[in-house]
Chains A and B, each alone.
Chain A
Amino acid sequence: MRERNLAVLILVMCLTVVFVTGCCSRKAVKSAVITGEQMAAEDQQASSGEQMTGEQALKEQALKEQTLKEQALKEQAAKEQAAKEQAAKEQAAKGGMVLADILFDFDEFSLKPEARGILEQHAKWLLEHKNDKLTIEGHSDERGTTEYNLALGERRATAAMKYLVDLGIDEARLRTISYGEELPLDPGHDEAAWAKNRRDHFVPKK
């Protein structure tokens, strides 16, 4: 009996139409639909998420994207190789000098004795090439958080810069930038890779 009453009540409530959220005008609906579709189209381009329809088409697209990605990676690798060779050539033209990286211990930004030795050579090179500027890039390994590692990279770059200034290099010729853990030299996930990645990298510019 109680259920009956409830059903009747529901029926009555059904008839009482209550708009909880307001309806917008027809015009607004139209424009919203277009925006929605546009966004959907954009998302589809970037999407690798789930879609309920056209799975086959998506699969094909994914395959195509995969192929394109591989091709792009190959091209990029070739380009990077060419760029490296070009950079080495330019370096050679500058006097055969590739400025070596300096390395750091985990969660440290103090200069090790080997690093000081390398920086002394860099200072000598800078004194001989008075028109060149130098960007010092600070890097960290992949462990730890993005932001802390950006700060750590900044500290590492600044440590090298301060030492070069102490060795008589004009600070105006030096620039520091931190890439944190974002640009590893070695993509590996072991101590051998991490050791190479905890570095300052030096990029001279005419």
Chain B
Amino acid sequence: MRVCKCFVCVVVISLVLCGYHGAYGKVYIDIDSPTFNKFPIAITDFEKLKGSEEKENLSSWLSDALTKSLERTGLFDVVDKKAFLDNQGGSAVENIRFADWKVIGTEYLVKGNFLFDGKDLITEFRLFDVIKREFILGKKYYGRIEDRREMVLKFAGEILLALTGNEGVFNTKIAFVLKGNKTSDIYTIAFDGYDFARITNYNSITLSPRWSPDGNDISFTSYKDSNPDLYLMSLRDRKAKKIAGFRGLNLSGAWSPDGKRMLLTLSKDGNEEIYVMDIKSGQLSRLTNNFAIDVSPTWSPDGQKITFVSDRSGSPQVYLMDADGSNVRRLTYQGGYNTSPSWSPRGDRIAYESMTDGFFQIFSIEEGGSNSIQLTSGTGNKESPSWSPDGRYIVFSSKLGGRSKIYIMNINGSNLRLLYESVDNVIGLAWSPKF
């Protein structure tokens, strides 16, 4: 995806440049508000322009892919194509029978066309407000047939930006660990369920993927050299470099927001302690000094604070400290087993997993320790919460019986969507930054 990014040329066909965004009435909608209603939207099949070749059902492929991406956000109700009354072509305002769209319950309409000459693909997307009978925005993308998904994702982002003031997370991935019989490896999958890809293949135990802030690298722990060592892999060439190989545990922590330092857990001094490492020089400084287990550190979005797990009180609990290791305070008091802290990119809350009634559930709590909310419930263990880079969603794993699933939910626990399912064990989720 990243490679293609600069090759898709975009032409803006709209009023966007005339400061349109500020003028549009529906911006900055709070999707977590109880009064929020999904946006009803219709997406017509794309019109094949004169002189264009048809390939791989581009006409319906484009509308279906856009439908899937928008549905994945949980913010849209996409109207079934069978209900359409206005089937005439053309995407100029005067050619659209808005009344026919309004009567089937849609408030927004996407129309588009494409021109494919066997090599280059040009697509055009237009978004209309059915109620106001207005053109909202349009984009024209130039690229190859392979870029078609990226074109769709870009326009999906444009729609979201226009209607909610936030372009969403269409161009993001989730990294996770799939456990086989005696081995495990890291995989990634796109936010909308496409692009399932294997990242490591060491025939060994490989765990705990963490994205660099620019999304170019992943750090992880692997036993490929018979000891749990810490590696850094460039996703461009898939080459991994060992960055910590001390005796004992070398566990992946988290990248600092500026990408220069990394938090990690080492047991080289006899017990598990949290260190910060300068990635370039490899220089370490120790942040915790406690005989208890200290693991799973992660930074606050501003890099000023660190949350981590410690059993210094006798059971695993979530703690906070300042970035230099001072001012340690306990965050969670409810429940006897609280782990996997993950800091919201908006900075206001920390998600974690907590054992309650025999199962792990996802919770979130304010940095000050108040307003703890249980976000999941029911049987099965829900683990490994990770926030979307825009702070709107939380991804987590769920295990019940022999099946593991990856779910995405809104940060208040509503709007649960299944992203991935496997008979193998899924753990260690990490949501990428925006690419």
Contact with A along B2-16 (1 / 0, CB 8 A): 011111111111110
Interface size on A, residues (CB 8 A): 56
* Residue contact A46 to B198, C-beta cutoff 8 Å: yes
Chain A minimum-CB-distance residue to B189 = A49
In the assembled complex, B156 has its CB within 8 A of some CB on chain A = no
Identify which of B11, B13, B193, B251 contacts A150 (C-beta below 8 A): B251
Chain B minimum-CB-distance residue to A77 = B181
In the assembled complex, B384 has its CB within 8 A of some CB on chain A = yes
In the assembled complex, A154 has its CB within 8 A of some CB on chain B = yes
State the 6 A-B residue pairs at the shortest beta-carbon distance, nearest first.
Answer: A49-B196, A46-B198, A151-B293, A145-B339, A147-B295, A43-B197
Chain A minimum-CB-distance residue to B315 = A107
Contact with B along A140-158 (1 / 0, CB 8 A): 0001111110111011001
> Inside 8 A of A3's CB, which chain B residues have their CB?
93-94, 133-134
* Residue contact B383 to A145, C-beta cutoff 8 Å: yes
Interface-side segment among A16-24, A93-101, A124-132, A192-200: A16-24
Identify which of B6, B179, B384 contacts A21 (C-beta below 8 A): B6
* Residue contact B296 to A19, C-beta cutoff 8 Å: no
Chain B minimum-CB-distance residue to A32 = B3
**SS class of chain A's interface: helix, strand, loop or mixed?**
helix
Query: B residues within 8 Å of A by Cβ?
Result: 3-15, 17, 56, 61, 92-94, 133-135, 138, 140, 142, 144, 146, 177, 179, 181-182, 184, 187, 189, 193-198, 201, 205, 207-208, 223, 226-228, 248-249, 251, 265, 267, 270-272, 293, 295-296, 309, 311, 315-316, 337, 339-340, 353, 355, 360, 381, 383-384, 427-428
Given A151-B267, A177-B228, 15 additional A-B pairs, CB 8 A? A6-B93, A10-B13, A10-B14, A13-B12, A36-B146, A42-B198, A45-B198, A48-B196, A143-B381, A145-B296, A147-B208, A150-B251, A151-B272, A177-B226, A183-B182
Write 25 A-B pairs (CB below 8 A) sorted by A numbering. Answer: A7-B93, A10-B14, A10-B92, A10-B93, A13-B17, A18-B17, A19-B9, A19-B10, A32-B3, A36-B3, A36-B4, A46-B198, A47-B198, A48-B196, A50-B194, A52-B61, A73-B181, A107-B315, A107-B337, A147-B208, A147-B251, A152-B293, A177-B228, A178-B228, A179-B223
Q: How far is the CA of A28 from the CA of B8 in the complex (A)?
A: 12
In the assembled complex, A29 has its CB within 8 A of some CB on chain B = yes
* Residue contact B316 to A148, C-beta cutoff 8 Å: yes
* Residue contact A10 to B135, C-beta cutoff 8 Å: yes
If the complex has contacts A29-B7, A150-B249, A183-B182, are A144 and B339 also in contact, measured as CB distance less than 8 A? yes
> Inside 8 A of A48's CB, which chain B residues have their CB?
196
* Residue contact B196 to A43, C-beta cutoff 8 Å: yes
**SS class of chain B's interface: helix, strand, loop or mixed?**
mixed
Q: How far is the CA of A21 from the CA of B151 in the complex (A)?
A: 13
* Residue contact B135 to A182, C-beta cutoff 8 Å: no
Contact with B along A72-94 (1 / 0, CB 8 A): 01001000000000000000000
Whole-angstrom distance from the CB of B382 to the nearest CB of chain A? 12
Whole-angstrom distance from the CB of B297 to the nearest CB of chain A? 10
> Inside 8 A of B14's CB, which chain A residues have their CB?
10, 13
* Residue contact A182 to B184, C-beta cutoff 8 Å: yes
If the complex has contacts A13-B15, A144-B337, A151-B267, are A49 and B179 also in contact, measured as CB distance less than 8 A? no
Q: How far is the CA of A139 from the CA of B146 in the complex (A)?
A: 46
Whole-angstrom distance from the CB of A164 to the nearest CB of chain B? 16
> Inside 8 A of B337's CB, which chain A residues have their CB?
107, 144
* Residue contact A76 to B181, C-beta cutoff 8 Å: yes
If the complex has contacts A148-B295, A151-B267, are A23 and B181 also in contact, measured as CB distance less than 8 A? no
Whole-angstrom distance from the CB of A96 to the nearest CB of chain B? 28
Identify which of B138, B144, B296 contacts A10 (C-beta below 8 A): B138
Chain A minimum-CB-distance residue to B184 = A182
* Residue contact A47 to B196, C-beta cutoff 8 Å: yes
Chain A minimum-CB-distance residue to B182 = A183
* Residue contact A147 to B13, C-beta cutoff 8 Å: no
Q: How far is the CA of A154 from the CA of B92 in the complex (A)?
A: 67
> Inside 8 A of A46's CB, which chain B residues have their CB?
187, 196-198, 201
In the assembled complex, A57 has its CB within 8 A of some CB on chain B = no
Contact with B along A43-62 (1 / 0, CB 8 A): 10111111011000000000
> Inside 8 A of B182's CB, which chain A residues have their CB?
183
Q: How far is the CA of A48 from the CA of B5 in the complex (A)?
A: 25
> Inside 8 A of A76's CB, which chain B residues have their CB?
181
Q: How far is the CA of A179 from the CA of B184 in the complex (A)?
A: 12
> Inside 8 A of B316's CB, which chain A residues have their CB?
107, 144, 148
Q: How far is the CA of A151 from the CA of B308 in the complex (A)?
A: 13
Q: How far is the CA of A147 from the CA of B135 in the complex (A)?
A: 52
> Inside 8 A of B311's CB, which chain A residues have their CB?
107, 148
Whole-angstrom distance from the CB of A102 to the nearest CB of chain B? 19
Whole-angstrom distance from the CB of A178 to the nearest CB of chain B? 6
Q: How far is the CA of A53 from the CA of B145 in the complex (A)?
A: 14
Whole-angstrom distance from the CB of B355 to the nearest CB of chain A? 8
* Residue contact A148 to B296, C-beta cutoff 8 Å: yes
Chain B minimum-CB-distance residue to A157 = B248
Whole-angstrom distance from the CB of A201 to the nearest CB of chain B? 14
Q: How far is the CA of A71 from the CA of B353 in the complex (A)?
A: 37
Chain B minimum-CB-distance residue to A17 = B11
